[in-house]
Amino acid sequence: MEERVRVLIIGSGPAGYTAAIYASRANLKPVLYEGIEPGGQLTTTTDVENFPGHPDSVSGPDLMGLMRRQAERFGADIRTGNVTRADLSSRPFHVVIDGEKEIKAETLIIATGATAKYLGLPSETKFRGQGVSACATCDGFFYRKKDVAVVGGGDTACEEATYLASLCRKVYLIVRKPHLRASKAMQQRVFNTPNIEVLFEHNTAEVLGDDSGVTGALLRRNDGSERKIDIAGFFLAIGHHPNTELFAEQLALDAEGYIKVEPGTSKTSVEGVFAAGDVKDPHYRQAITAAASGCVAALDCERFLLQ
């Protein structure tokens, strides 16, 4: 049976929950579907030390739990479920949850986030969860006093490498270019950490392992020569791709698939559809910027409904 809602929020990270808080306080009775990762990427992190108001840090899952409770306190209807189809060709928008439940939404706030990229090696897929990870802060603990590798040359890779260096015996940073793309401050931190070895102009040819999980990696230098390193953990830090597949043919996206919004707003190319968080932010990807954009989306949505 079809249901009608004024505001439908898709996604449940800092952007989705903040949008729900603001929309609820505006008495818009928002319905939020949490998606396949309730709480978003932050639920896979340990201590969050840069979210204002938490001077002693807060765990990612705890922070998301607090945001969820706050949204529910003001009346947000938060549900488990994944949007499997969305038709934005006319208002109200037609959205299908888990392939069966149908919803007609007057407005839509998309906060579906972004997902970590992998290299695409069969061996990498084989050992995912058995030594291959895309989140150092989630899984680093398992590799205390062991040797690990991080793939990537940007800020995220450098951040993950220095984090792992505080736990692990040795960290290899595998960089395919002859230089790091990271900010000067992050580069300095890497070069000043004695147990990080940067391997410039190297690519991963294969992740090696056995029944116990990852045991090493076969690296190929840009000159064609090969080198094997012994590691217990293999961490990816090569970027993210936005979760916009549902909207690919319906909304204006940039070259990387992020939703385009009018500068200074959350407005997408379709009237009544708003975007918030990492799904439209290829640059910052922080909890605080995602939360702020969730606020913007709810306010834009409220103004749109008042027209």
Record the pTM: 0.76
**Tokens found for residue 288:** 């605080």
Query: pLDDT of 271-281, one tens digit each?
Result: 999 999 999 99
Cα distances from 299 to residues 24, 27, 214, 293, 296, in angstroms, run 11, 12, 48, 10, 5
Give percent of the chain above pLDDT 70: 98
pLDDT confidence bin for 240, thresholds 50/70/90:
confident
Of 71-75, 220-224, 298-302, where does mean pLDDT reach its minimum? 220-224
Q: Which three-class secondary structure state does DSSP give residue 40?
A: helix
Q: What local confidence, expressed as pLDDT, does residue 57 receive?
A: 85
Can you tell me the mean pLDDT for 54-64? 90
Q: What local confidence, expressed as pLDDT, does residue 136 receive?
A: 83
Residue 143's contacts (CB-CB under 8 Å, 6 or more residues apart) are 164, 167, 168, 232, 233
Q: Which three-class secondary structure state does DSSP give residue 217?
A: strand
Can you tell me the mean pLDDT for 95-110? 96
pLDDT confidence bin for 126, thresholds 50/70/90:
very high
Q: What local confidence, expressed as pLDDT, does residue 45 receive?
A: 63
pLDDT value at 1 more than 70:
no
Q: Give the number of other CB atoms < 10 A from CB of residue 62.
A: 15
Residue 12 and residue 78: Cα distance in Å, rounded?
9
Query: pLDDT of 160-200, one tens digit each?
Result: 999 999 999 999 999 999 999 999 999 999 999 999 999 99
Q: Is the bond into 122 cis (omega within 30 degrees of 0)?
A: no
In total, the chain counts a number of residues equal to: 307
> Among 246, 282, 240, which Cα is nearest to 108's?
246
**Tokens found for residue 159:** 């951040």
Residue 7 and residue 29: Cα distance in Å, rounded?
7
Q: Is 135 a catalytic residue?
A: yes
Count Cα neighbours of 171 within 13 Å in the Cβ-side half-sphere: 30
Q: Is 168 a catalytic residue?
A: no
pLDDT value at 304 more than 70:
yes
Please calculate the CA angle 12-16-17 and round it to the nearest 5 degrees.
85
Q: Is 139 a catalytic residue?
A: yes
Q: Are 195 and 185 in contact (CB under 8 A)?
A: no
Sign of CA dihedral 303, 305, 306, 307: positive
pLDDT value at 95 more than 90:
yes
In the DSSP assignment, the letter for residue 251 is: S
Q: Which of 62, 77, 135, 295 is catalytic?
A: 135
Count Cα neighbours of 117 within 13 Å in the Cβ-side half-sphere: 12
Q: Are 46 and 282 in contact (CB under 8 A)?
A: no
Residue 155 and residue 282: Cα distance in Å, rounded?
13
pLDDT value at 48 more than 80:
no
Please calculate the CA angle 258-12-138 and round it to the nearest 5 degrees.
90
pLDDT confidence bin for 116, thresholds 50/70/90:
confident
Q: Which of 47, 62, 138, 230 is catalytic?
A: 138
Q: What local confidence, expressed as pLDDT, does residue 156 receive?
A: 86
Q: What local confidence, expressed as pLDDT, does residue 221 receive?
A: 95
Can you tell me the mean pLDDT for 111-136? 89
